[in-house]
């Protein structure tokens, strides 16, 4: 694949393909970057920060694998600030970082498509959907919120990335999920992670139940 230049936005969050990302743009360097993307109809790349800060400092050092973000909505605000809604598109790998040519970070990147998507067997996809549904229901129960199971997609890859967003794990662990090379490996990775998180939620729910019982007075 031929590398191409892509404006990069280092953030403290991982963007997955097909998933939405809302951003408030207020720094001059990123106002310039996003305005350029809007004018040229170009995406930008979201990369998780490995070292450094997200705003008001030197450009951060990010991980080399990220996701292209296509801008879908823009709300202009005062002083050039804006709120944008973008959607994750293709994954990419940074071949070389350019910290000097512009106020914001630029990368020479190549696409990093998910391999072997056709090899994800239906039983694995169905099991992933079942575990994700159970996980989201448990989270909703613990948080006292309403969960709509009808919003869960059917595609195993979309299910995997939705599970990655939903999992209550550090962003560095989500970066590991983003970097998985093939669809079968991605589904198996998420199945194992969901089983582990469901076990932890069961322990948390049991502790919550015992605490609730213990809070009642003997009178």
CATH superfamily, domain at 4-111: LON domain-like (2.30.130.40)
Least confident of 9-23, 78-92, 158-172, 197-211: 197-211
**DSSP E strand boundaries for the chain:** 4-11, 20-25, 44-51, 61-62, 65-76, 82-98, 105-111
* pLDDT tens by residue, 180-213: 999 999 999 999 999 999 998 888 777 776 766 5
Per-residue pLDDT reduced to its tens digit, 146-165: 666 667 887 888 889 999 99
Q: Is the per-residue pLDDT at 131 higher than 80?
A: yes
Q: Could you confirm whether domain 117-214 is CATH 1.20.58.1480?
A: yes
pLDDT score recorded for residue 120 = 73
Strands (E) in 77-214, as ranges, are: 82-98, 105-111
- φ, ψ for residue 135 (rounded to 5)? -65, -45
Domain boundaries, the chain: 4-111, 117-214
Q: Does the pLDDT value for residue 121 go beyond 90? A: no
pLDDT band at 137 (very low <50, low <70, confident <90, very high): confident
């Amino acid at each position: 694949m031929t590398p191409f230049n892509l404006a990069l936005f280092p953030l403290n969050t991982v963007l997955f393909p097909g998933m939405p990302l809302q951003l408030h743009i207020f720094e001059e360097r990123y106002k310039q970057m996003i305005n350029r993307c809007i004018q040229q109809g170009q995406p930008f790349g979201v990369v998780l920060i490995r070292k450094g800060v997200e705003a008001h400092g030197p450009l951060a050092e990010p991980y080399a694998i990220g996701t292209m973000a296509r801008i879908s909505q823009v709300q202009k605000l005062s002083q050039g600030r804006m709120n944008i809604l973008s959607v994750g598109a293709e994954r990419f790998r940074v071949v070389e970082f350019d910290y000097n040519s512009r106020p914001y970070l630029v990368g020479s990147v190549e696409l990093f498509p998910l391999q072997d998507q056709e090899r994800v067997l239906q039983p694995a996809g169905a099991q992933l959907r079942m575990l994700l549904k159970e996980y989201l229901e448990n989270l909703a129960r613990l948080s006292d919120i309403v969960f709509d199971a009808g919003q869960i997609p059917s595609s195993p890859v979309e299910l995997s990335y939705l599970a990655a967003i939903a999992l209550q794990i550090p962003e560095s662990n989500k970066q590991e999920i983003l970097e998985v090379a093939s669809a079968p490996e991605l589904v198996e990775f998420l199945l194992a992670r969901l089983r582990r998180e469901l076990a932890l939620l069961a322990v948390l729910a049991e502790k919550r139940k015992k605490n609730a019982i213990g809070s009642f007075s003997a009178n």
